[in-house]
Chain A
């Protein structure tokens, strides 16, 4: 069984490294695709000009909010507005616990909102739980391109 990929949208390389480490340390060996900004994330999901999108949608998108070019909210909005991705599970994973961000995130249709703890032990726990939950426990929506 292929539990699917994780699309990690994160511009901070430290955070990328730490997130990957946290995921790996619990043997979540799935492919993690990293997009370093909002444009890359959308390119991966919808394809660039002249290039088809990735065949399979990821099982979950871990989305940071503060991103270069297109910010997280804009990416989320775009994901929800496209037929292909409107049911795609999106987890906002960010530093902010501004109430405004939480409300906006859920309003735009985020499936979950997780704040990155500073304590790396805590962070590792959070990343593991996220991986386990969204990859193994959660029943993904049916593929829109299904037969």
Chain B
């Protein structure tokens, strides 16, 4: 694991141990160095002292060149196991005696070297003058000691240092482990709380606070943040609940309305069916028997009587037309819509041809813009165009140069279809009555009609999600606008 991925506890402990270890190591090194240096000085001065004593004792032996005495004096060195070798040189540098009595060749230098004490080749060697009185030099004493004492001391202090280091590191580790918690515990608690809050989405959790330091402030801020999130979450939940309730209410309401609508529709269906069958039958009787009277009893009737019967017949036929128109209006609402691309221009041309075929005696100029298309139910849209174009045709009846246009304009990004004529027009005061059922702005004497056509048109446009409106000026024409 990379160091940066270590848990914070381990990082803190490692840092503490590293620092204390480094400090201890340096201290121990200094201690060991000091120990060794001091010890070397000590053994050198011990060797010097011993040499001087030995030298003083050797003056007589040297002065008389007494080899036996000299050997005896040097032999005393055997009591110190560190003493490796010794020798006495006379005034001329010749060896008088050695220790041990028969030393190996490399132990004793052949001639004395300059006076003094020094470490040489793993040994401490010393050359001491042997003199009588102040200035009469008799010879030189040579002593070599091994440095085992120094290495023993070094080893000892090394062991001590290592032991101290180990104990100190253990203590440091224990302390670090105990004390790092002061720093890591709040951080860990914070991290744990954050993790729990984010994984369980439980924002009611709070991180425990350990003190008033920066970590304490951090914990406070974090807890405040959690509090705000919790509040917002609750608010959101309340909103969601309210929204759900409202949706449920609306759905229920809509379902209820749909059911009502369905019921109303099927009632209307049954009603229309029965009207279609039953309402016309009596009219047929009225008309039929009036005609029978006119045919069979014409002689017994005067002009007024015949006229009355004609009126009865006209009224019953008119009522039949009204019933048919009403049924058409009802059918517009009942039929299922099939949406497709509809060629309105082509449809308008077909209707115009039909109008011209059935009424060849009237010359009306129809101007139909090419390429007008819309999405919708073609059968219903045919009813719309048929009504509007026939209205144009009808209401231009008293116009010397009748003209009906079918065009479209683009307005506010939407297509608006326009059917315009230069016929009788209407007063804008009554514009809102145009599309009502049985609402007419002209008498039947002026223009034939039942007042159902435009109501049917508006219903179809509404079923397509569109809008229809009209503008008119009396005796100058009417313009119908619709969107789909």
- CB within 8 Å of B: which residues of A? 12, 14-15, 18, 21, 65-66, 94-100, 116-121, 123
Contacts and interface: CB of A to CB of B under 8 A. Distances in A.
Given A116-B280, A118-B317, A120-B313, 5 more contacts: A21-B292, A66-B277, A95-B280, A99-B331, A118-B283
12 contacts: A15-B284, A94-B277, A95-B280, A95-B284, A96-B276, A98-B273, A100-B273, A118-B280, A118-B320, A120-B288, A120-B290, A120-B292
B288 A14 contact: yes
A99 to B, nearest CB: 8
Of residues A96, A97, A117, A123, which shows the largest number of chain B Cβ atoms within 10 Å of its Cβ? A96
Contacts of B407: none
B446 interface: no
Contacts of A98: 272-273, 276
A99 B290 CA distance: 30
A66 B276 CA distance: 11
A96 B277 contact: yes
A120 B289 CA distance: 8
B276 A116 contact: no
Contacts of A95: 276-278, 280-281, 284
Interface of B: 272-273, 276-278, 280-281, 283-285, 287-292, 313, 316-317, 320, 324, 331
Contact of A15 (B276, B285, B313, B316): B285
Contacts of B289: 14, 18
Contacts of B281: 12, 14-15, 95
A124 to B, nearest CB: 8
Nearest to B285: A14
A98 to B, nearest CB: 5
A64 B267 CA distance: 23
B273 A18 contact: no
A17 B324 CA distance: 24
B183 to A, nearest CB: 88
A18 B277 contact: no
A116 B277 contact: no
Contact of B284 (A21, A65, A99, A123): A123
B277 A123 contact: no
A99 B331 CA distance: 10
B284 A14 contact: yes
Contact of B291 (A94, A97, A99, A121): A121
Contacts of A97: 276, 324
A89 B291 CA distance: 30
Most buried by A among B287, B288, B324: B288
A18 B288 contact: yes
Contacts of B316: 118
Contacts of B285: 12, 14-15, 18
A55 to B, nearest CB: 33
Among A12, A97, A119, A121, the one with the most B-chain Cβ atoms within 10 Å of its Cβ is A119
Nearest to A66: B277
Contacts of A65: 277
Contacts of B278: 66, 95
A95 B282 CA distance: 10
Contacts of A119: 287, 313, 317, 320
Contacts of A117: 284
A11 to B, nearest CB: 10
A118 B287 contact: yes
A117 B283 CA distance: 10
A12 B282 CA distance: 9
A66 B275 CA distance: 12
Contacts of B291: 120-121
Given A118-B317, A119-B317, A18 B276 contact: no
Contacts of B317: 118-119
A121 to B, nearest CB: 7
- Which 3 A-B pairs rank lowest in CB-CB distance, beginning with the nearest? A118-B320, A14-B285, A120-B291
- The residue in A18, A118, A121, A123 that gathers the most chain B C-beta atoms within 10 A of its C-beta is A118
Contacts of B292: 18, 21, 120
A25 B413 CA distance: 64
Contacts of B284: 14-15, 18, 95, 116-118, 120, 123
Contacts of A120: 284, 287-288, 290-292, 313
A94 B281 CA distance: 9
Nearest to A14: B285
